[in-house]
Amino acid sequence: MTPAAAWCAQHRLRFLLPSLFLAPVLFFLLSPPSSPPFVSLPASGELPPLSSRLIWAQRWLVEWRPCGWWRTAPLQAPSRRNGYIRIDCYGGLNQLRRDLCDGIGVARLLNATMVLPKFEVAAYWNESSGFADVFDVDYFIEQTRGYVEVVKDLPAEIASREPFKVDCSKRKGHFDYVETVLPALLEHQYISLTPAMNQRRDRNPAYAKASYCQGCYSALRLNKNVESKAVELLQAIPKPFLSLHLRFEPDMVAYSRCSYTGLSSKSMDSIEAARREGRKVLTGDAARLWRNRGKCPLTPSETAFILQALGIPTNTNIYLAAGDGLMELEGFTSVYKNTYTKSSLLTHEAFENMHGNTKAALDYYVSVNSDAYVATFFGNMDKMVTAMRTMQGLQRTLVLSRRAFANYTAAGLAGQQLAKAMWDAHREEYVRGRGSALPEYCFCEFKL
């Protein structure tokens, strides 16, 4: 054997092993995607009888509950603070709440004293309403005591000037608030902070996590005026009832970049009017993959179909927790006729005089206290409502799977076969407690 041949024989495994590992990877990357890529077809069979098919009648295997560790106030922060911080929040009510919750944890992380947050809602609601217009200020301060210090007023030497602005909302990926924000706090002693939208919280120390959990889930209560309106609305809804957060507005559909067939010309015109640069409709493989990933909003008629598949009787009283501008609503109300809204239950004068944030607060309150809650989209409101229902031990909570519906319809399923597939998919999610996602450390999973 020649020296070259001997060397090849001795080292052939060095070349062979990487090829063995790389081959499946290359095959996966270069092969055309299958349809559907995310779920397998259900086993053949018929839907269970209606009497045993109701989704809420299924027994949970696990249950989410608030973790006990953050219920007791953590170690007190040092008596000397690093300065004052105001959380600046933008958007609708539940986006404001999301940013505020993050800001509470950041304030404790930076050992800062919080002043009452600033709600910037003009661009969203075309109005002016602040934190105190929605939430109980004194209750908030009392419930966060021992977690983070909150004050109504600033010292005179600071109150006369504007805070130094720190905007983290556009930051991407993980970053360190102590590294990036604390120097500004120490230098200026008073800063305003817009938290990052997708910052990971699980790496924070326990005292910051506990402050986030307590501030977000135990300290935010509607003020007396808003709560009295919410109670009035809740009492007006026929009982028992299901609260449905249905999302199919022109702007949302335009933003999703999804195409739909069978919509009315009025709906199509509204969607086109809401399109902006970068919101062009996806086509071809990109559109199919996007829809199969669950990125396309469910239409009202699709929502009605799924609720029927889950055994929700068509005579159920349903409160529609949604804003103005819903399209194709008759596709839902033609099936579920006992549907109620804020505008149908409140007097015209009372409804018209409400702030946009007040209307959103009513939907939130009713949804938290409803007999059952279903969402067609897992947005800011749904995350907060499902968490607060978990706090109260209310299990009848479910987020519908847009991904499962898209994949099964793409595979050609329809009618009873599609209904059976949707029943199986949602039952699996529900009994395993995966009907709603919860923060990693505020809620814990208990096997039943």
User: At 357, which amino acid appears?
Assistant: N
* Residue-level pLDDT at 91: 84
Q: Which DSSP letter does residue 371 get?
A: S
Give residue 387's Cα distance to chain centre: 10
Alpha helices in 293-437 (DSSP H): 300-309, 330-333, 342-345, 348-352, 356-368, 380-391, 402-410, 415-431
pLDDT for the residue 193: 96
Q: 369 exposed, middle or buried (CB, 10 Å; 0-12, 13-18, 19+)?
A: middle
Q: So what's the pLDDT on residue 33?
A: 38
**Residue ranges of the chain with pLDDT lower than 50?**
3-9, 11-38
Q: Which of 361, 369, 414 is nearest to 388 (CA)?
A: 369
**Bridge partners, residue 167, by sequence:** 194
**Runs of H (alpha helix) within 197-249:** 206-217, 224-236
CA distance 142 to 343: 35
Residue 203, pLDDT score: 81
Query: Residue 304 CB: number of other CB atoms within 10 A?
Result: 22
Q: How far apart are CA 319 and CA 341, in angstroms?
A: 6
Find the helix packing angle between 356-368 and 93-109, rounded to 10°. Answer: 80
Per-residue confidence (pLDDT) for residue 323, from 0 to 100: 78
Helix (H, G, I), strand (E, B) or coil at 340: strand
Is the bond into 49 cis (omega within 30 degrees of 0)?
no
Q: Which of helix, strand or coil describes residue 347?
A: coil
- DSSP per-residue string spanning 123-161: HHHSS---HHHHB-HHHHHHHTTTTS-EESS--HHHHTS
With contact defined as beta carbons under 8 Å apart, do 301 and 323 qualify? no
Q: What is the pLDDT of residues 29-71, one digit of tens each?
A: 333 333 344 455 555 567 777 667 899 999 988 888 888 888 8
In this structure, the strands spanning 84-90 and 190-194 are: parallel
Residue pair 194/163 in contact by the 8 Å Cβ criterion: no
Residue 184's pLDDT is 97
Partners of 372 in the beta sheet?
242
Given a contact cutoff of 8 angstroms between Cβ atoms, the answer to whether 63 and 448 are in contact is yes
